[in-house]
């Protein structure tokens, strides 16, 4: 009898502890309805434009991610509010937690480090990682007898984005490199231009930006694709919004695996 009473006490305690979680789950069931009632879906993104994800011309945003966000708004039947005022992924996650945004489209890569905080959608684009090198700096690192040595064995100073996905991949692929992290692609490019680093590890879209902005970089920068290293770009919603994440997956499912980077660069955003 005493054993039964103790069991019931533990059950009551477990139910009490579960109430906030049950409340959050119930809230997630109503996310789409809340957006519809409000009349607008609030989408957070990064302030730095990056073609073809987001393009700012004459105060008007366009691009692939804006197209996807507009698809969400049109499907729910509400207005799209695009808020590109955030500096990094951490700020975007905070916006979700503080309910300033309903979801994020900001070329966010699926990353185990932040997965416990958010729900990722299905990936709407897969990107290859690449390395862009300063040719002269790499030549200086070669052995004096000019014996062939793969670049992965050189003690390069490689810059990359301050993200576990980037850092883990570059460290694994270039074990002898000294890895330096930067907050955004603009600061990475500046460091490579000035010779502060020997190479940049980034994704293929970020690398293309370097050469689109200044085609003459092709004269002294080397571009090497690393097709064995890939990343998946996805939308994110807050962790409790499980139902909204499932709804979003159904909406994005038709584009999964069907959109290529070269196709997007052909579009006139």
pLDDT digits (tens, 9 = 90+) for 219-233: 889 889 998 999 999
Judge whether 54 and 68 are in contact, CB under 8 Å. no
On the 0-12 / 13-18 / 19+ scale of CB atoms within 10 A, 149 is exposed
CATH 3.40.190.10 domain extents, the chain: 27-126+233-266, 127-231
Q: How far is Cα 241 from Cα 10, in angstroms, rounded to an integer?
A: 28
- Taking 80 as the threshold, does the pLDDT of residue 39 lie above it? yes
Considering only 21-30, 92-101, 117-126, 232-241, which range has the smallest mean pLDDT?
21-30
* Cross-strand partners of 109: 233
Strand segments, DSSP code E, in 117-189 are: 118-120, 125-134, 157-161, 178-182
- Taking 80 as the threshold, does the pLDDT of residue 1 lie above it? no
Kindly indicate the confidence band of residue 24, based on its pLDDT and cuts at 50, 70 and 90: very low
Q: Where are the alpha helices (DSSP H) in the chain?
A: 2-29, 31-38, 64-76, 89-97, 135-140, 164-173, 185-194, 204-213, 242-252, 261-266
- Taking 90 as the threshold, does the pLDDT of residue 269 lie above it? no
- Beta-carbon neighbour count of residue 72 at 10 Å? 22
Considering only 60-64, 161-165, 248-252, which range has the smallest mean pLDDT?
161-165
For the stretch 130-171, pLDDT in tens is 999 988 877 777 654 444 356 777 788 999 999 889 999 999
Q: How far is Cα 185 from Cα 187, in angstroms, rounded to an integer?
A: 6
Mean pLDDT, rounded, of the chain:
85
CB neighbour list of residue 24: distance below 8 Å, 6 or more residues apart: 240
Q: pTM for this one? A: 0.80
> Max Cα separation, the chain?
84
Judge whether 205 and 53 are in contact, CB under 8 Å. yes
**Residue in the structure block whose two tokens are 């695996």:** 257
Pick the residue with more confidence: 84 or 9?
Answer: 84
- CA 23, 25, 28, 29 torsion-angle sign: negative
Q: What is the pLDDT of residue 4?
A: 35
CATH architecture of the domain 27-126+233-266 equals 3-Layer(aba) Sandwich (3.40)
CB neighbour list of residue 244: distance below 8 Å, 6 or more residues apart: 28, 31, 32, 102, 103, 119, 237
- Taking 60 as the threshold, does the pLDDT of residue 239 lie above it? yes
The CATH code of the domain at 127-231 is 3.40.190.10
- Taking 70 as the threshold, does the pLDDT of residue 28 lie above it? no
Omega before residue 52 within 30° of 0, cis: yes
């Amino acid at each position: 009898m005493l054993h039964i009473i103790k069991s019931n006490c533990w059950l009551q305690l477990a139910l009490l502890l579960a109430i906030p979680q049950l409340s959050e789950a119930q809230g997630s069931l109503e996310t789409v309805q809340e957006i519809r009632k409000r009349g607008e879906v609030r989408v957070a993104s990064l302030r730095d434009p990056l073609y073809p994800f987001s393009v700012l011309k004459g105060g008007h945003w366009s691009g692939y991610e804006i197209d996807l966000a507009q698809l969400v708004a049109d499907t729910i039947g509400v207005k799209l509010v695009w808020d590109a005022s955030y500096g990094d992924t951490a700020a975007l996650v905070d916006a979700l937690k503080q309910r300033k945004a309903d979801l994020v489209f900001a070329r966010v890569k699926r990353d185990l480090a932040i997965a416990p905080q958010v729900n990722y959608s299905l990936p709407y684009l897969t990107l290859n990682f690449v390395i862009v090198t300063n040719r002269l700096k790499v030549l200086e690192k070669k052995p004096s007898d000019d014996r062939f040595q793969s670049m992965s064995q050189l003690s390069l100073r490689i810059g990359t984005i301050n993200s576990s996905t980037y850092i883990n991949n570059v460290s694994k692929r270039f074990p002898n490199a000294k890895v330096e992290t930067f907050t955004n692609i603009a600061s990475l490019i500046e460091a490579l231009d000035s010779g502060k680093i020997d190479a940049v590890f980034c994704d293929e879209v970020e690398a293309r930006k370097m050469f689109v902005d200044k085609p003459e970089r092709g004269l002294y920068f080397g571009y090497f694709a690393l097709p064995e290293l890939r990343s998946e770009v996805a939308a994110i919603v807050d962790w409790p919004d499980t139902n909204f994440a499932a709804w979003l997956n159904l909406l994005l499912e038709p584009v999964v695996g069907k959109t290529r980077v070269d196709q997007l660069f052909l579009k006139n955003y």
